[in-house]
Chains A and B, each alone.
Chain A
Amino acid sequence: MIDKRVRSLADAVAGIPDGATILCAGFGGAGLPDALCEAVIEQGARDLTIVANNAGTGRTGLAALLATGRVKRIICSFPRSSGSVVFEELYAAGRIELELVPQGIISERMRCAAAGLGGFYSPVSVGTRLAEGKEHREIDGRMYVLEKPLKGDVALLAADRGDRWGNLSYRKSARNFNPTMAMAASLSIAQVRHFVELGEIDPETVITPGIFVDRLVEVPA
């Protein structure tokens, strides 16, 4: 019998190794696995690389994880937003390395890893500083740069509903990076608002099929 549900946040994040690359879903606070981020603090992994669209706000969730000083590097499209105080302090003090990647390129690089592909040619950033050092190639008269796949050791996800097979559904724009990140990591862990029985999520509305999910824990809203 398949049952990917775990009882506690500690069980959900058990075994994340030092030096791991963690894909952290969410767009601002929507779809952000805040409880899992805080569980990683307790779990204790260090020298982490975080891949996330934003760098957290306030002092909870992702920001709390950054504040421990155990994240050495963040791959991010838009780190600074109102309330991103923890990141700004770390950045000003030179205590975190920032790799800035255009938003759609972060997403597509992860999709590429999920799909077993070796990279893709993209027109985004051509002629800008972010293209420096990348392989350029003209295809049918347009210039592109080579973007490489981005794979996670771990993905932290937030969904609305999940069943014991790991099927997930989301609410509204809280879907964002979750489906792609679920597919792009070796160990995908979801916090869900509601555990539901197998079959309760209409198969037509399963957004992330259970094959992409390893563990899920219930965290009511």
Chain B
Amino acid sequence: MPLKRRQIAWRAAQDLVDGAYVNLGIGLPTLVADVLPADREIVLHSENGVLGVGPAPGDNEVDWDLVNAGKQPVTLLTGGSYVHHTDSFLMIRGGHLDLALLGAFEVSQKGDLANWTTDDPNFPPGVGGAMDLAVGAKEIRVLVEHTTRAGAPRIRRQCGYPLTAAGVVRRIYTDLAVIDVTSAGLVVRELVDDIDFRTLQAKTEAPLHAAPDLRPLRAPAL
């Protein structure tokens, strides 16, 4: 069974280490905030100047002065702090974040990331903080559905859409697999049950290599 969006987020969250400073991009990565491992202290950074983002507020606790990168209301953890935009992006570009989890339109076999424009003339482009994050965080991982709704692969030999940054993505979490970008190409670490490797390859434009210890990708029902 392919993972649901919340399960992809859960799987990415399992790899976060205690004490990590992590930025979550808008869309799929934002869901990670709701499925963090309870046994670890993970400090979430939001580009709009929030360090220590907490879970979504209850209906009576919504404060529109406190939002995340997707402009959704959030809370602040005890120990959290606020900074202004220039300092927030100093944290991003200056290598102070351990990890950024980002969404993508496409990722290439070399770790190129495309997530800011599809060149559709009807949709104005929007780069937001993506380019700052892509070159500034110590590590970039991507959460993405393996194919488009039309079934086209999002993991490609080369990105067809304009790049956000070249060669920055180290790990890709999809609804079907966990894939590492290595100097020897794309290595599949985990694969969902009831899909075989050949089927995964057929849904992926770039060549894949199975890890010697390829494991099943499973997540709780959530």
Contact = CB atoms under 8 A, between A and B. Distances in A.
A53 B129 CA distance: 10
Interface stretch (A13-21, A40-48, A87-95): A87-95
A114 B137 CA distance: 26
B174 interface: no
Interface stretch (B60-68, B185-193, B208-216): B60-68
A158 B117 CA distance: 31
The number of chain B residues touching the other chain, given as a range, is 35 or more
B155 interface: no
A199 B135 CA distance: 42
Contact of A179 (B84, B135, B166): B84
A104 interface: yes
Interface in A176-201: 176-180
B136 interface: yes
A214 interface: no
A129 B116 CA distance: 11
Contacts of B35: none
A172 B66 contact: yes
Interface string A117-140: 000001111111110000000000
Contacts of A110: 86
A130 B131 contact: yes
Given A29-B64, A127-B166, A173 B48 contact: yes
Given A29-B64, A175-B82, A207-B84, A104 B125 contact: no
Nearest to A87: B124
A128 B165 contact: yes
Contacts, number: 132
B134 to A, nearest CB: 8
A105 interface: yes
Q: Taking each of A78, A80, A170, which has the highest tally of chain B beta carbons within 10 Å of its own beta carbon?
A: A78
A171 B127 contact: no
26 contacts: A30-B48, A30-B65, A79-B124, A91-B124, A92-B122, A98-B124, A100-B127, A102-B131, A103-B89, A104-B47, A104-B89, A104-B93, A104-B132, A105-B131, A107-B85, A108-B86, A110-B86, A123-B135, A123-B136, A130-B131, A173-B48, A173-B49, A173-B66, A173-B67, A175-B49, A176-B85
Given A29-B71, A173-B50, 13 more contacts: A27-B67, A27-B85, A79-B124, A79-B126, A91-B124, A104-B47, A107-B85, A123-B93, A124-B132, A127-B163, A128-B166, A129-B162, A173-B82
